[in-house]
Amino acid sequence: MNNLTITQARKDLDEKKISSLELTKSYLETIKKHNQELNAFITITEKEAIVQAESADLRIAKGQSTPLLGIPVALKDLYMTKGIRTTAGSKVLENYMGQYDATTVMLLKEAGAVIVGKTNLDAWAHGSSGENSDFGPTKNPYKTEYVPGGSSSGSPVAVATEMTLAASGTDTGGSIRLPASFCNVVGLKPTYGRVSRYGVIAMASSLDSIGHFTKTVEDNAMYLSITAGSYPMDATTPPVAVPQYTKNINAGVKGLKIGVPKEYFIEGLDPQIKSMTEKTLGWYEEQGAQLVEISLPHTSYAIEVYYIIQTAEVSSNLARYTGVRFGHDRTFFGDEAKRRIMLGTYVLSAGYYDAYYKKAMQVRTLLKQDFEEAFKKVDVIITPASPTLPWKLGEKTADPLAMYLSDIFTVHANLVGVPGLSVPMGFIDGLPVGMQILGPHFSEEKLFQVGHAFESANPIWKTRPELKTEN
Amino acid sequence: MNKYTPIIGLEVHVELKTQSKMFCSCSADYFGAEPNSHTCPVCLGLPGALPVPNQQAIEWCIKIALALNCEINLFSKFDRKNYFYPDLPKGYQISQYDLPFGKNGHITLKDGRKFGITRVHMEEDTGKLMHQNVDGVKTSLIDFNRSSVPLVEIVTEPDFHNSADVKEYLQALQQIVRYLEVSNADMDKGDMRLEPNISLSTNPDLSKLPNYKVEVKNINSFRFVEKAIEYELKRQEKLLEEGQTPPQETRGWNEVKSITFSQRVKEEANDYRYFPEPDIPPIIHTPEKIDALRDSLPELQNKKANRFVTDHNIPLNDAEILTRERSLADYFEKAVEHGLTKNVSSRQIANAIINKKLNHLEITLENLISDIAEGAKVETLDDSELAAIITKVLAENSKAVEDYKAGKESVIMFLVGQCMRAIGRKVEVSLIKTAIENSLKP
């Protein structure tokens, strides 16, 4: 199964070279073999997956072929799944049984996907490294003493290690783009509202984007064609048409205007990542794209604004977890959740609201204007996905502020609502490095074209981690 | 004159009778339903669930605001009101904070005085707590059928200075929401919940409000509001006389003892940490849409009563009775139209409906008009016959006639009964009564 993509698996399934059951069993086998070491999954849904695979095989036998029919996928354990434990990575929901399927889960099931399990994450999606999970940290498969990035920590690891062909995640401040970059996979944070949030446990409702990880850009585009759309259970999904995102993926980058924001190439950015990004930009220029230096003048405020708005919404969203009707009581919240509840409660309190929350919302408007101005001049913006390489487990856990700063290049897109695609760019010291491609609202098709162009010429993704054969 | 002027404002919650709840598709018609049978992930506040606003409820809220002469915020939004209570499954109530649908309105009472409406906003109801003994154990149970049923909150200015005006306002408000057909406004079903804010002012300038106010929560009858206000005014006056300022607090109403009691003083007041509800985009209306809603408002009671006086030539008193309920007013107007063909006047119809206390839901228009027409025949055709019968009955009942003349006026009905028996047909009672009275006049 090495380096199998959804596109290839689809072909193999349709040509009956392999059955969904065989495919599914092979992935379940890998999970069983490596999960103990990598801790990518909280729950493995073997029984359900076998049933779904068998049913997919029946449909394939009848000549049906939909893009995800019989394809093994995994879900971040923030996605509500009926009859399957849904923990949010927190002990509070340690034994919580999902009461209904999230809209995306329903869409994936309808498309015939086989769900192999629920992946690990920072509890309540609070974190950038996966280390805040109450179920133990996930390990970076390229160097297991390093973090895989977070909060969607298990999903990219599962994709990188052939435990699944694709995995869902959520991105509130970089929780898809950062771990994708750390694990050498492709990760998309769609436009806010492009994919329904219904049934995905809320972290910060005005920032949460529902995206996913795949090995290649093409797979990623295909997956979004299934999950995107306006759905009645989420009032923030506008009726914008969903294109076949793979259709024009080979459009190339000739004549494309790429914005390079000067505020992102600053002190604090790892010099090796800086030069790799410049090399990548150089490659685009060689292909006929035009590089344009731009300014996003309020960038330096983004992280502050983010940690006010995000914590405010977190403090409200976590209020329902009282243990009165379900789950454990509040003493089961971890330190990071408690920290955010306290910060959020403070910034919303009478007497502080104007100085913090209201001011942050005003700056958020300025941040939006930064992007509006920029996208008058350029088609996309390219930046590194992370200012640093993956760090060692435990390195930043004692310093929450240092951890918060790892999102410095990603939070901006969440505050503004624009999409961002993380695409593998190369390796430094044996650790993966990704770039971030940003575009205007609902420009995912363009992002896929730009990412696919680079990936086709530079198939970094094919460098898979070497896993220990036996535990 | 009393040196204290009562300063009273009101907050009224009206539950709308939409088919579905405010933020999900569960049925909002929960009265008498099996507990927790009208629930879903949204109104149970389960992890991951999201609210989607009910457009009908928003339109109805705006209609109420328009009927109360409010300005409408074309750009409006929902906000989260954060507080903990077991009947509030999300840990916050979705309400409206700084941009309510309606603001700066007024209502005009019968004598023409105007009372200010501060705001009209939309929110969701909570679940219901029930404390019971279950298998011998004191248990608190929660029924979420009511959770997220649409509520409209109507807040007045502190313009009221006595409980009688308050009662008239509440009756007028109840009539308005019933006329709009947006709420049943049944007090005993909790469709209308009343919260007066009460204080006493010693300042001759009433625009300067007292430095405290007492809120009495969740009263469910107009009479109790009157009583609670009267009780509070006495209680506060006593404190003021003793040189104390009554504490700013929330009080409850004990309907058995007819007293208010302290529930929460200001120091313990909640900080609700309002912020814009991120799950619901701002609600934006065009002026055209609001104009269309305004045009769709039915004629309200006040206006209708006045029109009945001029259009149908009936006394204002009668017009007010006939317009108490919109369905009765509509019935009357249809009857008037129907009566034209049968030579039955609007006055006759009004009399028939009011005097006989007809249940308009049970009597068809045809029957009503033909009954009146029948009754009228006595008057027009058989004046002389009636006179003859009366003369005969009076002669046969000289004792009763004497009693009547001696001041025992109640015997008149006995004489009426005798006449009716002699006539042997269904006739207008009031007609016979008047004729007898006339012939007995000295």
Confirm or reject contact between A80 and chain B (CB < 8 A). Answer: yes
On whether both B318 and B394 belong to a single domain, the answer is: yes
A333–chain B nearest CA distance, Å = 15
CB interface of B with A, residues 258-287, below 8 Å: 271, 273-276, 278-281
Instruction: Name the least confident of A157-161, A318-322, B135-139.
Output: B135-139
- DSSP line for B336-361: HHHHHHTT--HHHHHHHHHHTT--TT
- Cα angle for residues B283, B285, B288 (degrees, 5° grid): 170
Task: State residue B2's pLDDT score.
Answer: 72
* Rounded distance between C-alpha atoms, residue B326 and residue B274, angstroms: 39
DSSP A343-385: HHHHHHSTTTTIIIIIHHHHHHHHHHHHHHHHHHH-SEEEEES
Contact flag B275-A316 (C-beta cutoff 8 Å): yes
A positions 285-314 inside 8 Å of B (CB) = 312-313
Chain A contacts of B276, Cβ < 8 Å? 361
Q: What is the per-residue pLDDT across B394-410, written as a single tens digit (0 to 9) for each? A: 999 988 888 888 888 88
Task: Judge whether residue B1 has pLDDT over 60.
Answer: no
Confidence class for position B423, pLDDT limits 50, 70, 90: confident
Range of the domain at B181: 5-294
The structure's pTM equals: 0.90
Q: Is B32 on the interface with A (CB under 8 A)?
A: no
pLDDT tens-digit readout, B270-305: 799 999 999 999 999 999 999 999 999 999 999 999
pLDDT of the residue at B376: 59
Q: What is the pLDDT of residue A328?
A: 97
Kindly report the number of other CB atoms within 10 A of residue B158's CB atom: 22
Are B92 and A316 a contacting pair at CB < 8 A?
yes
Q: Do A99 and B271 touch (CB under 8 A)?
A: no
What is the C-alpha to C-alpha distance for residues B385 and B391, in angstroms, rounded to an integer? 10
Judge if B357 and B216 occupy the same domain. Answer: no
Looking at the structure, tell me whether residues B50 and B197 fall in a common domain.
Answer: yes
Asked if A316 and B271 come within 8 Å (Cβ–Cβ), the reply is no
Does A123 touch chain B if contact means CB atoms closer than 8 Å? no
Is A81's pLDDT higher than 90? yes
What percent of chain B clears pLDDT 90, i.e. is strictly above it? 69
CB-based contact B50 A235, cutoff 8 Å = yes
**A6-462, CATH topology level:** Amidase signature (AS) enzymes (3.90.1300)
Of B159, B197, B154, the C-alpha closest to B68 is: B154
Give the active site residues of A. 76, 151, 175
Q: Are residues B71 and B213 in the same domain?
A: yes
Q: Where are chain A's structural domains?
A: 6-462
Q: Which of A168, A347, A348, A349 is the best mutation test for B, with the most CBs of B within 10 A?
A: A348
Per-residue confidence (pLDDT) for residue B435, from 0 to 100: 83
- Tell if the CB–CB gap between A320 and B52 is shorter than 8 Å: no
For A44-73, the pLDDT digits (tens) are 999 999 999 999 999 999 999 889 999 999
pLDDT on residue A1: 63
Taking the CA atoms of residue B326, residue B330, residue B336 and residue B342 in that order, the dihedral angle to the nearest 10 degrees is -130
Is residue B216 domain-shared with residue B311, that is, in the same domain? Answer: no
Q: Is A199 close to B279, i.e. CB distance below 8 A? A: no
Residues B223 and B364 in one domain: no
* Per-residue pLDDT tens over the stretch B163-203: 999 999 999 999 999 999 999 999 999 999 999 999 999 98
Domain finish residue from B230, B265, B294: B294
Beta-carbon contacts of A188 under 8 Å, excluding residues fewer than 6 positions away, are A176, A211, A212, A220, A224, A419, A420, A421, A422, A444, A447
Residues B338 and B209 placed together within one structural domain of the fold: no
State the pLDDT at residue A402.
Answer: 79
Query: At which of B294, B325, B348 does a domain end?
Result: B294
Question: How would residue A149 be classed by pLDDT, with cut points 50, 70 and 90?
Answer: very high
Q: Distance from A62 to chain B by nearest Cα, in Å?
A: 36
* CA distance linking residue B312 with residue B329, whole number of Å: 12
Among A199, A345, A353, the residue with its CB nearest the CB of B48 is A199
* Chain A residue at shortest CA distance from B25: A233
Indicate whether B370 and B414 sit together in one domain. yes
B341 and B209, same structural domain?
no
Mean pLDDT in residue range A368-382: 98
Model pLDDT for residues B76-132, shown as the tens digit of each residue:
999 999 999 999 999 999 999 999 999 999 999 988 999 999 999 999 999 999 999
Statement: residue B378 has pLDDT above 60: no
Higher pLDDT, B355 or A282: A282
Query: pLDDT-derived band of residue B422, with 50, 70 and 90 as boundaries?
Result: confident
Q: Which chain B residue lies closest to A102 (C-alpha atoms)?
A: B48
Residues of A in contact with B89 (CB under 8 A): 320, 325
B residues 72-91 lying closer than 8 A (beta carbon) to A: 80, 82, 84, 86, 89-91
pLDDT of residue A467: 86
The minimal CB distance from A348 to the residues B50, B53, B273 is found for B273
Number of Cβ pairs closer than 8 Å across A and B? 92
Domain shared by B281 and B314, yes or no: no
Asked if A350 lies within 8 A of B46 by C-beta distance, the reply is: no
- Whose CA is closest to A175, among A142, A208, A131? A208
Does residue B426 have a pLDDT over 80?
no
Residue that finishes a domain, picked among B294, B323, B347:
B294
Average pLDDT, chain B: 91
Is the pLDDT at A331 greater than 90? The verdict is: yes
Q: What residues of B are in contact with residue A201 (Cβ under 8 Å)?
A: 47-48
- Bridge partners of B197? B9, B215
* CB proximity B9 to A under 8 Å: no
Q: State the Cα–Cα distance between residues A16 and A56, nearest whole angstrom.
A: 12
Contact A91, A57 (CB under 8 A): no
Number of domains in chain B: 2
Check residue A470 and give its pLDDT: 53
What is the average per-residue pLDDT within A429-451? 98
Let me know whether B77 and B211 are in one domain.
yes
Kindly report, residue by residue over B196-237, the tens digit of the pLDDT.
999 999 988 888 899 999 999 989 999 999 999 999 999 999
Q: Cβ–Cβ of A198/B50 closer than 8 Å?
A: yes
Q: How confident is the model at residue A471 (pLDDT cuts 50, 70, 90)?
A: very low
Instruction: Give chain B positions within 8 Å (CB) of A324.
Output: 86
- pLDDT of B342 over the 60 cut: yes
Does B429 have pLDDT greater than 80?
no
Residues A87-92 have a mean pLDDT of: 98
B104 and B53 within one domain: yes
> What is the per-residue pLDDT for A439?
98
Q: Which residue has the higher pLDDT, B319 or B204?
A: B319
Between A144-158, A393-407, B135-149, B280-294, the lowest mean confidence (pLDDT) is in: A393-407
The answer to whether A235 contacts chain B (CB < 8 Å) is yes
